[in-house]
Structure formats: structure tokens, C-alpha cells
Amino acid sequence: SYYSTYYGKTTWAEPQLRNPGLNLPDLPWYDFTIKVKDSGKTMGAAVINHLGNGPTTWHNISTLWMLNPVITAAGPVTIRPGSPLTLRYRVVVHDGPPPTWVIQKLSDEYRGGR
């Protein structure tokens, strides 16, 4: 299994729960791809962050197989009574290796780039 971005497989250090400085950088999307042991099939999912969510680091731990955008890594987020916090993401599920150009195109559309 591996994480990837538009630039390919990630090579950053593994994030640590108590050290948000090790989270992955704020990028438009991350993909997690896995080869299923029993079937041999490769599949994955990408999470695209909406621009309205603000700066987001990513706490992607390979042993937990998750894509986790973190809006609180840079500091506290205050949610005022009666004022909802709305976060938006697009999830792209794929068979096989990540179709990077498709994910990037969907990211550009979702984030208002094209």
C-alpha cells in the first residue's frame, strides 16, 4: 500500500499523533492505493480537499490505511454556537493504480481551477 499525489508516491516521514509538524503538507488531494492480498486486486481512493476548508495538513498513517485531512493542525478552530462548521471533500474511488490525471482533473474542477 502507498500514498500518492499528483507528483507520484509520497516519500515523507510517517506522521506522528503528537507532532503535527510531521503531517503531510497542504496539497489539493492525496490518494491511498492498496493491493488486496487475497484477490491480488489493486484499488484505492483519493480525497480532494475543498478550497473552502482552509489550510489543511494530512495525517495519513500507512498502518491505519486512512486519508485524514486535519484542519486543526495549524492551531485551534473555534466553532461558535449556532454557527455550523461545514467541511467539504470529494472522494474518488478507483480500480488499479491511481489515475493521476483523472484525479487532478476532478480536483481542478472541484476546486474551481477549470
Please give the pLDDT value at position 60. 80
Higher-pLDDT residue of 63 and 58 is: 58
pTM of the predicted protein model: 0.87
Q: Is the pLDDT of residue 72 over 80?
A: no
What domain count does the chain have? 1
All three cell numbers of 47: 480525497
Distance CA 85, CA 66 (A): 22
pLDDT in tens, 23-37: 889 999 999 999 999
Q: What is the pLDDT of residue 55?
A: 83
pLDDT at 64: 67
Domain that holds residue 41: 2-110
pLDDT at 63 over 80: no
